[in-house]
Chain A
């Protein structure tokens, strides 16, 4: 699993209870997709340092995977783990919304 992951490794985390697993569906070269990659990386670095794993999938190349996760447009990010599986559409420029949808703030505060 960690070998497949992109982004920060979670092995050295002091609190490795929850590792956020993301799959980011993009179209290579798409302006929104590029923005989404940058935004997700920035959000994760800020809010989930060393506690995230991002897998980027180009839907043109891995069309089946997109269908498997019911993706209807790119860019879309799917939070695989922790449950429940959640999809966020768009370029992730609205960070508030990202945090709300994924309950990240609440979870972190709950710690």
Chain B
């Protein structure tokens, strides 16, 4: 044999090689054995698996490709140089540039009319490797030149699976131009709606204020009418009755037959009744001038009035000062009068409580009754007298910045609270100094000089006749109003002034105050139709040293003048 193999040996080797090839080709080998290692072979399996995998992958790829192409959302991938490496049809259509023309170009090259520094922002995504969602981009594209469009971008960094290296940015883009348009329309609609609501509110407010002003005017007109009526009664009927009474009094003193005197007395009694009836009527119609002074006395006056009408008013005052403006005082008085009349009209009770309290910089007035109570809402809209009155009161108080609160329940009674602002936020005003009573300097032996201040000529004539009939006194001047009284006083410097309280231009109280400031030696005797403590008090406070009512004037006039003059003489 030696080095040369025999034919048989060669044949065997060939056979073996064939077998090996055969086994390999038919995939019937598991491993190939080399001199120092074994190579495992699973070719068939691997190939089959690979084929399967490739099939699955390619199917998947097709699905994804189809989705990518047809999804109605813009999709693209940019590399790290921000060049397009992939783009779907939808985005290409949105941009108005064929898809393949995008590849290898940047956004700024293709779409120079996009705003919002899109590339600067994308560079940040590349730098940080963090996704950024909901970036709003706007601008124009060749698809619709001249039209500003809006998009919502979502940027997701794309990493390689092999080495986790950043490949670029996956972009998802939604067009929101229509949405924006609707948003803007909606915004405009909202604005116009707001405007309309505003206009409507304004017109409502204006109606409300008109209503208030009407209510206020109505209330004022009502008040004026009362005043006018009261003035008419006082100025004409009242004065005529007073004069009639005075004349009857004069007749009574004349030397006349007994029978005539007794008839005259009957007339005098009738005149007295008529006078007191007219006084009551006048005082019901208009509050006396003292009410301008303070709230408590106004309410005290009202308390008396209500008692005349059959309602007992239990008045409680906390003792604190409650400076208020005249307007508020008047309104409060009207309001409380209205409320108390309501108690009379709508309840069976004959008693009500009225509290005057100082509450910080406000005055708090509480009107309580233990009546049946009512539903405040019903009465607020009711058109009967009470309801309208209450509504009126409410409107007027509202107008002056007062608050009004009704609390009422069936069978529980009613509590009404009014809060009204104090004058100057409640700061105390300087007390007007009391003018010390000073004596007048009447020269002995001289007649007492009297000034008559009354707006009624008839009254002045009557009084003049009485005074001049006396030996020791004489009327030196007459005045028809407060202002004239002051002027005449300066001119003639009388010893005594007979001062009517109710006069035009300036009333007797104001005129007295001014005169006393200038000429304290003059003595003032107040004169009025009213037989009222408060009026007396006001006149006295103003500086009057005596006070007479007109119907008693005849009896005591001369005596009073003498006694006042004598004070001066004594001094």
Contacts and interface: CB of A to CB of B under 8 A. Distances in A.
Interface in A73-107: 73-75, 87-91, 93
Contacts of B35: 67
B22 interface: yes
Given A31-B45, A63-B38, A90-B26, A74 B33 contact: yes
Contacts of A33: 30
Contacts of B28: 32, 75, 89-91, 93
Interface string A55-80: 00001100100110001111100000
A16 interface: no
Nearest to B19: A89
Contact of B40 (A27, A63, A75, A91): A27
B33 A71 contact: yes
Nearest to B34: A72
B181 interface: no
A90 B32 contact: no
A73 B27 CA distance: 11
25 contacts: A30-B30, A30-B31, A31-B30, A33-B30, A63-B33, A63-B38, A72-B32, A73-B24, A73-B29, A73-B30, A73-B33, A74-B29, A75-B28, A75-B29, A89-B16, A89-B19, A89-B20, A89-B22, A89-B28, A90-B19, A90-B23, A90-B26, A90-B29, A91-B23, A93-B28
Contacts of A30: 30-31, 40, 42
A32 B30 CA distance: 6
A61 to B, nearest CB: 11
A32 to B, nearest CB: 5
A40 interface: no
A26 interface: yes
A3 to B, nearest CB: 27
A72 B16 CA distance: 10
B208 to A, nearest CB: 97
Contacts of B42: 30-31
A-B pairs, top 3 by smallest CB distance, nearest first, are A30-B30, A90-B23, A90-B28
B33 A59 contact: yes
A17 B280 CA distance: 165
Chain B interface SS verdict (over half): mixed
Interface residues of B, number: 20
A26 B38 contact: no
B16 A73 contact: no
Contact of B16 (A59, A63, A67, A87): A87
Interface residues of A, number: 22
Given A74-B33, A90-B26, 5 more contacts: A30-B31, A73-B33, A73-B41, A89-B20, A89-B28
Contact of A72 (B26, B27, B30, B33): B33
B22 A27 contact: no
Contacts of B38: 27, 59-60, 63
Contacts of A59: 31, 33, 38
B6 to A, nearest CB: 13
A74 B20 CA distance: 10
A32 B33 contact: no
A73 B45 contact: no
Interface in B1-54: 16, 19-20, 22-24, 26-33, 35, 38, 40-42, 45
B331 to A, nearest CB: 110
A93 B29 CA distance: 12
Interface of B: 16, 19-20, 22-24, 26-33, 35, 38, 40-42, 45
Contacts of A87: 16, 19
Chain A interface SS verdict (over half): mixed
A26 B30 contact: yes
Nearest to A88: B19
Q: Which of B29, B41, B42 has most A Cβ within 10 Å? A: B29
B31 A27 contact: yes
Nearest to A29: B30
A74 B31 contact: yes
A103 to B, nearest CB: 13
B23 A89 contact: yes
Contacts of A27: 30-31, 38, 40
Q: Which of A31, A60, A90, A91 has most B Cβ within 10 Å? A: A90
A105 to B, nearest CB: 18
A33 B71 CA distance: 51
Contacts of A72: 20, 32-33
B23 to A, nearest CB: 4
A90 B21 CA distance: 10
A30 B44 CA distance: 12
Contacts of A88: 19
Nearest to A91: B28
Given A27-B38, A31-B42, A73-B23, A89 B33 contact: no
Contacts of B24: 73
A65 to B, nearest CB: 11
B406 to A, nearest CB: 99
A32 B16 contact: no
Contacts of A31: 30, 42, 45
Interface string A29-42: 01111000000000
Given A67-B33, A89-B29, A90-B26, A73 B40 contact: no
A42 B324 CA distance: 128
Nearest to B16: A87
A34 to B, nearest CB: 9
A31 B40 CA distance: 11
Contacts of B23: 73, 89-91
Nearest to A34: B30
A60 B293 CA distance: 126
B32 A73 contact: yes
Contacts of B45: 31
B24 to A, nearest CB: 7
B31 A73 contact: yes
Contacts of B16: 87, 89
A33 B32 CA distance: 12
B28 to A, nearest CB: 4
A30 to B, nearest CB: 3
B30 A74 contact: yes
